[in-house]
Structure 1
Amino acid sequence: MKLLKRVLWVTGVVGVLGLLTVVILYFIMKDDLPTVEEIRDVRLQTPMQVYSADGELIAQFGEIRRIPLRLEEIPQPLIDAFLATEDQRFYDHFGIDPIGVARALFLLVSSGEIQGGGSTITQQLARNVFLTLDQTFTRKVKEAFISLRLEAALSKDEILELYLNKITFGNRAYGVGAAAQVYYGKNIDELTLGQMAMIAGLPKAPSTMNPISNPERARERRAVVLGRMLAENFITETQYRTALAEPVKTRYHGPEVTMSAPYLAEMVRSRMVEMYGEDRAYNSGFKVYTTASATQQRAAQRALQDNLHEYDERHGYRGPEAVLWEPDATPLSREEIIARLAQELSIGQTEPVAVLAVAEQSITVLRDDGSEIEIGWPGLRWARAYLNHERQGPAPKTAAEIVAVGQQVRVRETARGWRLAQIPEPGAAIVALRPEDGAIAAAVGGYSFRLSQYNRAIQAERQAGSNIKPFIYSAALENDFTLATLVNDAPINQWNPGSGIAWRPRNSPDVYEGPIRVREALAKSKNVVSVRLIRALGVNKAVEYLTRFGFDYDTLPRNESLSLGSASMTPLQVARGYAVFANGGFLVQPYFIDRIENSEGEVVFREIPTVVCASCDHGGREVVQAPQVITEQNAFLVTEAMKSAVWGGGSWAHRTGWNGTAWRIQRSGPITRKAGREVVGKTGTTNDVKDTWFSGYVSGLVTTAWVGFDNLERELGRTTMNENLSSAEQPISGVEAGAKTALPMWIKFMEEAIAEVETAPFEVPPGLVSARIDVETGKLSRKSDHTTRFEYFLPGTAPTEYAEEKSTPNIFGDDDSIF
């Protein structure tokens, strides 16, 4: 009895001292413990996701991949797997499992060190959310206190739900939803029992038991999980054996991006970091909806890549990327070739392959997945040798003139089949926006973001060339010129005593027509006429006028070269300027983020756009009225002149017809065939063909396309026709120019994009008058034949004199058709 009393007394004292110790430790650590409010406000770090306007995932940013799920959305077998493996008494204990603690104490006494084990799901959650992973006594005590608070503040189901969404599974996957995506590319409800067991086994050691990096250890761990599930009667013997036999077959699956738009995604990422800071932007679960249409964005990327490949093929083949083995050497084994190819990147539309065999007019190549493809003569015959930017070699007759066995080359798949390819050297950009509010519908800043992150659509400041002329002509129309005014298209030779040289601006082509109407001069892009207009205006007045279109006053040259496009502008700046003509004279502010939602789906930001008509119905959205910078009448007159750049003028039946620089648009049925649709635009080419442009629009969409080398010293050059190809297969030769190099990209894009655009004719604004003029003199005419046309004028600016009637008989008869 005395011994029993002593034992009881010692036990009581130890208990009281233990309780006192716990109380003291609690008060010591109290300030470091999370409050009930903090516990209830536990936020799941989720990545930022970027979407198109129509909900397609463009990109995902953030170190952590997480797909938050409610407990009822998680399959019961997966929940059972975690309970059986991590905490089979989860629903019975109060956050700390006495049996588990006893086991941990035994390990401590037997080893002298704090060992793992003994932690309940609640404790693991406490450690993951509020503590570090350090194996220290202080951390373990804090973990216990936080676990008790968690159990007091949250229900068991809430704790389990947080746990399954918070824990890490390796490869930056946090939570079971992300783990299913990362390892299997599946939604969580599509997993097999074996796959669920594999995921449930990962939290113990995500790096060393990872099925991607260590499949054998992952298999062993899966067997442990399945064994625990069987022991706890969560699964049957048959289910156990079936799941145990499943192969460990997995690989890393990236975010389920459904639309590639990396340049646009980077624009969003940069803006979000600017708005919220890096940590909050990446880990707060923001969903960013852009203004870009998935259809139009895809069309823009295809148009840019296809156009650069067409340029590249015109200029010739630059040879193989590498030689894997020489013709007289022992070939590499198939496995060695595949291993070498696996080290190379697919870039844009191209992928690396090895040439296995060369026939008379075909080749066989091996891809990095082990498959072989044959490329016939239609995919090879373009590949005459590249000599320099102005010369190409003779057209090849056989495949052996192009490639050899053992070479590493690139190929691309097209609608016409597989083709030999190479990564295009020039840079390019295309940007489209809606003129009524400035929303960016599509933006592509280069051939491949993997190749270059430089976004030429918004960063490349390049000389605008003749793309600047509509702004010069707009200034002229506001200062006493009309579309019928005659300006002398004749060479200019101006001596500069300061430099000791003469400035001789020339037309391209070097053809001069004498007195020419303003409409026709813009449509034909007459350089000397543009110079004469800026002389009539004065350089300073022209510079001031151009700032109305959003161009920076300080960057505009203060000399007559401004009229030929010596000013440097980004494609987006140019498109914004053209939008002023398209929308009736209003300067809108381009934007690409429509709205931002938080992780709960609440809208936390919505862009307030500048719009043409603030009083119109915008569905309750807050908008700002865009400033009107030119008159509606002026915008219409410039649009009319650029319409002639597409359709030309005169009468082909009477041999007076002429084409504008954008005449190739006429061939595009998808753009032109819709009744009531009007399309306008302007080409642009700089000296030495270093920059080529085309900007154009329909009533609902403005698009600017640019092609040039990033190296400002390089010229786009010229080509001759490839005799292997028909004119339909290679319709462009000669010197590269806006009409040949940039316009085809614009056409390719608009042919697809225009289907989503509600377009209408450009209505004649009030205040304009129409009069029939003589096309040769610009004066009024009493005739109604091919020598005349109707022209639009501001009130009081129409000609008052009539052209002298000629007595030459009209052998063709009257014809009112002048286009």
Structure 2
Amino acid sequence: MARAPTRPSSTKSRWRKRLSLAIKLLIVLALIGLGALVTAVYVAKAQLPGFDELKSSPNGQMIRVHAADGTVLVSLGPSYGEWLPFDRIPRVMRDATVAVEDRRFYSHLGVDPIGVARSVQVRLDRGRWVQGGSTITQQLARNVFLTSQKKFGRKFREWILALAMERKFSKEQILELYLNKVYYGGGSYGIDAASRKFFGHDAGDLSLSEAAIIAGLVKAPSNYSPTADAEAAVGRAGVVLRVMEQTGAITPAQAAEADPKAVKLAPEPRQNSVRYFTDWALPQLDLLIDETEKPLDVWTTLDLSMQRAADAAIRANAPRGAQGALVALDRDGSVRAMVGGRDYVSSIYNRATQAVRQPGSAFKLFVYLAALEAGRRPDDVEVDEPVTIAGWSPRNDSRRNSGPVTLRTAFAYSLNTVAAKLGQQVGFATVADMARRFGITTPVNTHPSMVLGTSEARVIDMTRAFASVANKGIAVTPFGITRVVSEGQVIYQHEVDRNHVLVSPFVAAQMTDLLQTAVNTGTGRSAQIGRPVAGKTGTTSATKDGWFLGFSSGLTTGVWMGRDDAKPVAGLHGGTAPARAFAQFMTKAVAKRPVEQFETEVTLPEWQEEPDEESYFGQPDNTVFVDEDGNPVGTSRPQDEFAPDPPGFGIERPVPDYERPQVMPQREPPPQPGEDRLDQEWIDRVTGREPPPPPRRREREAEPEF
């Protein structure tokens, strides 16, 4: 029986045709892809800038910050040294870079297939990208034209640009661009800037060990920076030396002789207190201008002589273990000096603008402003007597009461009972609104004890409030940048707003009257500088914070001292170290300014009234009235019951009696028989004043002066 013939040859022929067709198709696609690649490379080549243009275009934005007199305070952003032509770059620097970054640099076409394959293999072995396989040319293309985004599209553009650069520039030109533009950490671009920063000399004198350290930085500048981690930098330099030996760039003897550990690093430049100011001012550029690439010259308000005086005043007067902060504002709001701590190097935390602390009796500024606006006058009389408000009973530091006193006397000697009564009369919410009106940006509570400064505030905000009083009730807004110049063109110019009236001029003048008295005969006597000064002290419970804020000759200065952990500081009171620092600074700061008299002359308080203890002994104003956390002592009602509703809450709530404004009494009756009076002998002994004639004393006791 005949078997049907098989057709193996025809089947094989069919598969051969298919395979041949596939191969031809792949060849065609490869040719098309190659053609597209070549086209893309030459298009990119045509669009590339010239060599000289690339040399003159820095990476990143450079910012120079000037003081008010034009002195350069600090240069920020990228730092570039001298551009070194290829033949001036030390051979050890060129060899170290090629060895560790791209050992086949002189043989590949811009992209190294072996390096790419190796990086893929490492990716498969470790499950993540560890090596990018980038050549020196690719890195240059990325640094100059692209970002460091790890996406395939960016990588493909990087390959195209690298291939194009290899077509347009020689290997020497590419290496010259790379070594003069690559980032080496610490803000330094290029080997000359890096050499000057880390070693204190130009790159033309780099030794083998120094070159190995710099070459090792490219992989991770922040990790291997010799100033940040010397041990890591030395270890990385050892890797570079071994690779150089393996590639034949140096001999084993040279590798053994090199000692990165023996390299002497240049000392870090000392960062002074100016950086507190620049750290505060420069972030405001994002709101003022849109320019993010061109170099900028930023002109500021800082007065270098005042800044030096402020720094010295804080260092000289801040108690051991305590920090200090100072802000000085001119009458237009320009910040003339700013100190955020005793030492910027040890702590960059700016206590002048970032820290929030209880201001103590310095907060009474807003209590008396509210009372004056409501119709009270400095010579109006209020009775200093025991008072209880919603279960809270403030007492004066002397534990005694003086009976009828003028508001001037009560403010000068920081009588807490009178401040509490004024707060109750105008309404504690009104006092809080006054504080916010004058620029307090932190939350202000409406507890009765708020009149003693239990709400936290920033130094710059409190200084701003006092400056607005000095400015006759017109708002003062702190600013640090006057103009910004880019390539010779002014792109920002500050304009001062002098039209925002906070209180009537006569209210500001009356407040200045009270503030003068506090300095001349009250708690702030240590702040006297031989010319008219108005100001107020503040001391919180357990001497955790000491404040003095005041103004003279158009300059307003706020001083705070205390510990960052809010622990008590022995002997710290507003009328001592802060007031002395204020006086030391202001004496120098206003020395060349004309003496300015205030609109109201100093009126001393009644001779027989009792100053509070801070006036003599520096005791805090509210020691017995709030606990360790600043909460009122003896208040039986829950704290939340005293808190104001959130803005826009939209639901009415019962208003406690102590928040309701009351009718402002203009006169108080004379003291009743048997009322606790002062011991005049004790007053005379402490103050050193001669006792007054008996008839005058009897007359005043019978008919208090209103």
Shift in Å, 1:643: 1.9
With over 3 angstroms needed to count, the CA separation of the structure-2 counterparts of 1:566 and 1:50, relative to structure 1, is farther
The answer for the alignment partner of 2:198 in structure 1 is: 183
With over 3 angstroms needed to count, the CA separation of the structure-2 counterparts of 1:627 and 1:754, relative to structure 1, is same
Q: Which amino acid aligns with 2:332?
A: D
Shift in Å, 1:576: 0.8
Shift in Å, 1:584: 2.0
The answer for the alignment partner of 2:80 in structure 1 is: 68
Verify: 1:469 aligned to 2:364, yes or no: yes
The answer for the alignment partner of 2:510 in structure 1 is: 637
**Structural mapping, 1:737-752, within 5 Å:** 737-752=573-588
From 259, 263, 270, give the equivalent of 2:272. 259
With over 3 angstroms needed to count, the CA separation of the structure-2 counterparts of 1:585 and 1:34, relative to structure 1, is farther
**Structural mapping, 1:104-119, within 5 Å:** none
From 34, 39, 42, give the equivalent of 1:27. 39
The CA distance in 2 between the partners of 1:29 and 1:479, in whole Å, is 79
**Normalized per residue, which structure has more helix?**
2
Verify: 1:562 aligned to 2:435, yes or no: no
The CA distance in 2 between the partners of 1:133 and 1:635, in whole Å, is 57
The CA distance in 2 between the partners of 1:99 and 1:709, in whole Å, is 61
The CA distance in 2 between the partners of 1:81 and 1:517, in whole Å, is 84
The answer for the alignment partner of 1:90 in structure 2 is: none
The answer for the alignment partner of 2:614 in structure 1 is: none
Q: Is the 8 A contact 1:585 1:630 kept in 2?
A: yes
With over 3 angstroms needed to count, the CA separation of the structure-2 counterparts of 1:37 and 1:564, relative to structure 1, is same
From 483, 488, 494, give the equivalent of 2:388. 494
Q: Is the 8 A contact 2:213 2:234 kept in 1?
A: no
Q: Is the 8 A contact 1:639 1:680 kept in 2?
A: yes
Secondary structure class of the residue paired with 1:461: coil
The answer for the alignment partner of 1:292 in structure 2 is: 302
The answer for the alignment partner of 2:463 in structure 1 is: 575
From 33, 36, 59, give the equivalent of 1:45. 59
The answer for the alignment partner of 1:662 in structure 2 is: 524
Q: Which amino acid aligns with 1:142?
A: I
Alpha-carbon deviations, 1:108-158, whole Å to 9, x = none? 9xx9x9xxxxx9998884475358999x9989973664226755xxx9999
The CA distance in 2 between the partners of 1:601 and 1:251, in whole Å, is 40
Q: Is the 8 A contact 1:679 1:697 kept in 2?
A: yes
The answer for the alignment partner of 1:478 in structure 2 is: 373
Identity %, equivalent residues? 27
Q: Which amino acid aligns with 1:646?
A: V
The CA distance in 1 between the partners of 2:346 and 2:225, in whole Å, is 35
Alpha-carbon deviations, 1:575-633, whole Å to 9, x = none? 110011122221122223444555x57555x3634x3xxxxxxxxxxxx3341212333
Unpaired runs of 5+ residues, structure 2, are 1-29, 98-103, 121-133, 227-232, 251-256, 610-665, 668-692, 698-706
Verify: 1:704 aligned to 2:558, yes or no: yes
Shift in Å, 1:570: 1.5
With over 3 angstroms needed to count, the CA separation of the structure-2 counterparts of 1:449 and 1:198, relative to structure 1, is closer
Verify: 1:692 aligned to 2:692, yes or no: no
Secondary structure class of the residue paired with 2:302: coil
The CA distance in 1 between the partners of 2:474 and 2:398, in whole Å, is 34
With over 3 angstroms needed to count, the CA separation of the structure-2 counterparts of 1:255 and 1:84, relative to structure 1, is closer
Verify: 1:304 aligned to 2:314, yes or no: yes
Unpaired runs of 5+ residues, structure 1, are 1-17, 88-96, 114-118, 229-243, 313-423, 612-623, 649-659, 719-732, 779-797, 800-805, 811-819
Q: Is the 8 A contact 1:300 1:430 kept in 2?
A: no
With over 3 angstroms needed to count, the CA separation of the structure-2 counterparts of 1:547 and 1:490, relative to structure 1, is same
The CA distance in 2 between the partners of 1:122 and 1:488, in whole Å, is 82
With over 3 angstroms needed to count, the CA separation of the structure-2 counterparts of 1:139 and 1:583, relative to structure 1, is closer
Shift in Å, 1:682: 0.5
With over 3 angstroms needed to count, the CA separation of the structure-2 counterparts of 1:761 and 1:222, relative to structure 1, is farther
Q: Is the 8 A contact 1:636 1:762 kept in 2?
A: no
Shift in Å, 1:704: 1.5
Q: Is the 8 A contact 2:270 2:345 kept in 1?
A: no
Q: TM-score, normalised by structure 2?
A: 0.60
Alpha-carbon deviations, 1:502-522, whole Å to 9, x = none? x32222333433333333332
**Structural mapping, 1:705-720, within 5 Å:** 705-711=559-565, 714-716=567-569, 718=570
The answer for the alignment partner of 2:494 in structure 1 is: 608
Q: Which amino acid aligns with 1:696?
A: G
The answer for the alignment partner of 1:726 in structure 2 is: none
The CA distance in 2 between the partners of 1:204 and 1:537, in whole Å, is 69
With over 3 angstroms needed to count, the CA separation of the structure-2 counterparts of 1:773 and 1:492, relative to structure 1, is closer
Q: Is the 8 A contact 1:506 1:528 kept in 2?
A: yes
Q: Which amino acid aligns with 2:538?
A: G
The CA distance in 2 between the partners of 1:640 and 1:264, in whole Å, is 32
The answer for the alignment partner of 1:681 in structure 2 is: 535
From 506, 520, 535, give the equivalent of 1:647. 520
From 181, 198, 203, give the equivalent of 1:166. 181
Q: Is the 8 A contact 1:433 1:442 kept in 2?
A: yes
Q: Is the 8 A contact 1:167 1:203 kept in 2?
A: no
The answer for the alignment partner of 1:456 in structure 2 is: 351
The CA distance in 2 between the partners of 1:531 and 1:449, in whole Å, is 40
With over 3 angstroms needed to count, the CA separation of the structure-2 counterparts of 1:142 and 1:740, relative to structure 1, is same
Shift in Å, 1:28: 5.5
Q: TM-score, normalised by structure 1?
A: 0.53
Q: Which amino acid aligns with 1:750?
A: M
Q: Is the 8 A contact 1:438 1:589 kept in 2?
A: yes
Alpha-carbon deviations, 1:455-484, whole Å to 9, x = none? 33223333322102233223333333333x
**Normalized per residue, which structure has more strand?**
1
The CA distance in 2 between the partners of 1:581 and 1:23, in whole Å, is 76
Alpha-carbon deviations, 1:306-345, whole Å to 9, x = none? 433x3x3xxxxxxxxxxxxxxxxxxxxxxxxxxxxxxxxx
From 117, 131, 142, give the equivalent of 2:160. 142
With CA pairs under 8 Å and 6+ residues apart, which has the higher RCO, 1 or 2? 2
**Structural mapping, 1:337-486, within 5 Å:** 424=321, 426=322, 428-448=323-343, 454-483=349-378, 485-486=379-380
The CA distance in 2 between the partners of 1:103 and 1:773, in whole Å, is 85
Shift in Å, 1:693: 1.5
With over 3 angstroms needed to count, the CA separation of the structure-2 counterparts of 1:477 and 1:174, relative to structure 1, is same
Alpha-carbon deviations, 1:504-553, whole Å to 9, x = none? 2222333433333333332222222223333443444444444431235x
With over 3 angstroms needed to count, the CA separation of the structure-2 counterparts of 1:689 and 1:293, relative to structure 1, is same
The CA distance in 2 between the partners of 1:447 and 1:520, in whole Å, is 35
Q: Which amino acid aligns with 2:494?
A: I
The CA distance in 1 between the partners of 2:282 and 2:595, in whole Å, is 35
Alpha-carbon deviations, 1:198-253, whole Å to 9, x = none? 659955986799995577898999999xx99xxxxxxxxxxxxxxx9999964444
With over 3 angstroms needed to count, the CA separation of the structure-2 counterparts of 1:290 and 1:34, relative to structure 1, is farther
With over 3 angstroms needed to count, the CA separation of the structure-2 counterparts of 1:81 and 1:519, relative to structure 1, is same
Q: Which amino acid aligns with 2:314?
A: L
Shift in Å, 1:492: 1.9
Q: Is the 8 A contact 2:483 2:494 kept in 1?
A: no
Q: Is the 8 A contact 1:77 1:196 kept in 2?
A: no
The CA distance in 2 between the partners of 1:184 and 1:547, in whole Å, is 52
Q: Is the 8 A contact 1:682 1:695 kept in 2?
A: yes
Verify: 1:522 aligned to 2:416, yes or no: no
Shift in Å, 1:178: 1.4
The alignment's C-alpha RMSD in Å is: 5.7
Q: Is the 8 A contact 2:482 2:493 kept in 1?
A: yes
